[in-house]
Amino acid sequence: MKGWLRLLGLVAFVGLGIVIFRAIRQYREDSAFDVPQATSLPGEGSRRVISPELLSILADPGDKGPVELITDSSGKEWLVNRRNGFRYPVEDGIPIMLLEEGEKNKDESLIQK
């Protein structure tokens, strides 16, 4: 009887270990897709984003109309003028709102008529 109890305890212990191992592995896999923090200190390496306050005042430098923040398939952010297709890049959280940049990166498929 005592031997059976020992064996049962051993099986329960191994089972618990397997459950914990799987839980840790799942957590690590899930964490790989976590969204980075919004802001960071220099050198931390995480991505900076445009603040809502800045977004609320931004306009196209040419026609002063609204611009829309979009993220392309590679994860890069752009501020888009839907009236002419100009796209202004966002680099490290800093919008590059130069007319020549907007024109250089123009995408006519983004124009809304």
Residues at the contact surface with another protein, assessed by CB under 8 A: 39, 41-42, 50-51, 53-54, 56-62, 64, 66-67, 88, 91-99
Tokens of 19: 């459950």
Smallest distance from another protein to CB 101, Å: 9
Smallest distance from another protein to CB 51, Å: 5
Determine whether 79 is exposed, middle or buried from the number of CB atoms within 10 Å of its CB (0-12, 13-18, 19+).
buried
Name which of 42 and 45 has its Cβ closer to another protein.
42
Name which of 9 and 65 has its Cβ closer to another protein.
65
Name which of 5 and 57 has its Cβ closer to another protein.
57
Determine whether 26 is exposed, middle or buried from the number of CB atoms within 10 Å of its CB (0-12, 13-18, 19+).
exposed
CB of 62 closer than 8 Å to CB of 102: yes
Smallest distance from another protein to CB 58, Å: 6
Name which of 14 and 98 has its Cβ closer to another protein.
98
CA dihedral for 56, 39, 88, 35, sign (positive or negative) = negative
